Amino acid sequence: MNAVDADAPEPFAAHLGIDVAKSSLQASLLLVGRDSKEQEHRRRFDNDADGLARLSSWLTEHVPLSAAGRSLVHACLEATGPYGDAVARHLHAAGHRVSVVNPRQIKAYADSRLARNKTDAADASLIALFCRTQGPPAWAPPDPALEELQALCRHLESLQATRQQYQNRLEAETSTLVRDSLAALVGHLDEQTEQAKQQIQDWIDSHPDLKRQQELLASIPGVGELTAARLLSEVQGLRRFDSARQAAAYAGLTPQQRQSGSSIRGRTRLSKTGNGRVRKALYFPAMVAIRFNPTVRAMAQRLKERGKAPLVVIGAAMRKLMHLAYGVLKSGLPYDQDRAAAQAAAA
């Protein structure tokens, strides 16, 4: 990489904020010199291979390497699904530090600064400033095997949702011709759904580590093979968390309290600030676990005796399943009722 312009202070940090759209990238490069003075450079790029190449060249023009030959750029972008994935991968492969953050964090940061403007350029500048002041954690590309598993599981979810839509229309339709067409579509989607399920299992079977993790998760009463696959695909390395509570927080399954002084005493509920697909994957398994998993059943019974609402009990059961899932993957040991009871008693 080249040095910065001679008239500009040599940066000791470079924070890159990127506002990602389907077809474009708005970049804001915030350079902080050793005298703490800031310089901002803005540029718009196409969100394609050529645009990413131009982004790299632009960074090379403005940011030197460190004395050790490492990149000084810390890039930050919001988690926007497929539109930002290629950008994050490209920057990571180029040796830059990359952070992919929840859009709600950026919105909260904007609110805290009383930001009034909402443009691509303003958003990119805000993300760069967030990167500088908040120091978000580094992101790393997911394991390719888990990434493919996630794509397969989400495809299955999409097929099931579409099938339900057509089934609902079929049940309400009065036209015979339309009903025949809808019935054919439902039948086709049923075939595609079964094929997708088989593809998911075949993929897991072809990767020994995934297969072992699925077996560990499926040892928990209430968690079947498909639920295990969905958990593995969405959490993407459950063992990376330092605690079961962190894993539950990632899924938005931790309690959220609303209490302030003597006037505000809201009901405690799930935070739901996290991966909604994990919560969706655990909802029906939690209902099964309340009936057939001794650990979850005992906890649910205690909550019912305390007068908790059914949805509160189900939410607690979902959280307990997440804790159990973390436990079996972290220990590498299948579910054991006696060990689970002892851990529950010690908690």
DSSP assignment of 258-287 equals: EEETTTEEEEEEE---S-HHHHHHHHHHHH
**pLDDT value of position 122:** 94
- Whether residue 140 contacts residue 181, with contact meaning beta carbons closer than 8 Å, is answered with no
For 30, the enclosing helix (H) or strand (E) is strand 24-33
Asked whether the predicted pLDDT for residue 23 surpasses 80, the reply is: yes
The model scores a pTM over 0.75: yes
Q: Please list the residue range(s) of the chain that carry CATH number 1.20.58.
A: 144-206
How confident is the model over 153-167, as pLDDT tens digits? Answer: 999 999 999 999 999
How confident is the model over 47-105, as pLDDT tens digits? Answer: 999 999 999 999 999 988 776 778 889 999 998 878 898 999 999 999 999 999 989 89
How confident is the model over 98-139, as pLDDT tens digits? Answer: 999 989 899 999 999 988 888 999 999 999 999 999 999 999
Q: Please list the residue range(s) of the chain that carry CATH number 3.30.420.40.
A: 11-134
The CATH number for 144-206, chosen from 1.20.1050, 2.60.40, 1.20.58, 1.10.10, is 1.20.58
The CATH number for 11-134, chosen from 2.40.110.10, 3.80.30.20, 3.30.420.40, 3.40.50.970, is 3.30.420.40
Q: How sure is the predictor about 34, in pLDDT bands with cuts at 50, 70 and 90?
A: confident
**Average pLDDT across the chain, whole number:** 87
How confident is the model over 172-201, as pLDDT tens digits? Answer: 999 999 999 999 999 999 999 999 999 999
Encoded amino acid at 300, one letter: A
Q: How sure is the predictor about 6, in pLDDT bands with cuts at 50, 70 and 90?
A: very low
Strand 73-78 versus strand 97-101 pairing type: parallel
Helix axes 276-292, 310-331, angle to 10 degrees: 100
